[in-house]
Amino acid sequence: MFDFTGKTVLITGASGALGTTLSVQFAQAGANVVAASRSHYDEVAEKAGGNSLGVRLDVTSETEWAEAIARTEERFGPLDILINNAAYLRIGTTESIPLDEFRRVLDTNLTGALLGIRAAAPSMRKAGGGAIVNVNSIAGLTAAPGLVAYSSSKWALRGLTRAAAKELARDNIRVNAVHPGIIETPLAYDPDGNPIVPVDNLAVPRNAAPAEIADFILFTASDQARFATGSEVLADGGYMLGAIA
């Protein structure tokens, strides 16, 4: 369906369920894949197959971002696509969440994306342009009790997406966001294994498979979406419609 032959993509949070799925699907579509994560990155690259490279990347570190881009260019040449997928979720209310955990969520979900765009843009200019996809969330469109840090980070990510889209447009670099609903990953459950957000009364009463969300992300990164920048693609199974029963 998608053809990324000759394109190089860097995916953050590659060791997670969605990140691994993205790595595999981009590789299957012909891309050179850089699977970036704090751990298990080589395993993901091996699973993706094709022309894949695993790199260590803590998205909150400017130094590690510079090293990741340098290794990408050394192996494949300039970067064409960046998927800011790394995320951290900590349950806690406005009054209860520890301040250091609030900051950790923002550092990963917001500052990590900022540093990624900052590191990737010069490489994309060498390539003549590129596409950046920020993996946001329905938490960036609404809010839920106990997710104050996550929601705050994702709402702020919307502003970053739009600002970067304007700033990079003349460099032929598109910046868009995909807002998934609840994905069947460990992030969908609390430490006791209970769903953080019930989906039984949604229009599509189930969690999304990672592959379903990956399809939206690949489309947004592809040339088939070349007229879109600063856009927000919603893939939520009807969550934003509210309960139907």
- List the catalytic residues: 150
Q: Choose among 113, 88, 118, 116: nearest CA to 103.
A: 88
Neighbour tally for 145: CB within 10 Å: 9
Beta-bridge partners for 8 = 32
Question: Residue 233: helix, strand or coil by DSSP?
Answer: strand
Instruction: Please give the Cα distance from 66 to 118 (Å, whole number).
Output: 10
Q: Is 98 exposed, middle or buried (0-12, 13-18, 19+ CB in 10 A)?
A: exposed
Specify the DSSP class assigned to residue 209: P
Side chain identity, residue 158: R
Neighbour tally for 80: CB within 10 Å: 24
Instruction: Please give the Cα distance from 241 to 155 (Å, whole number).
Output: 19
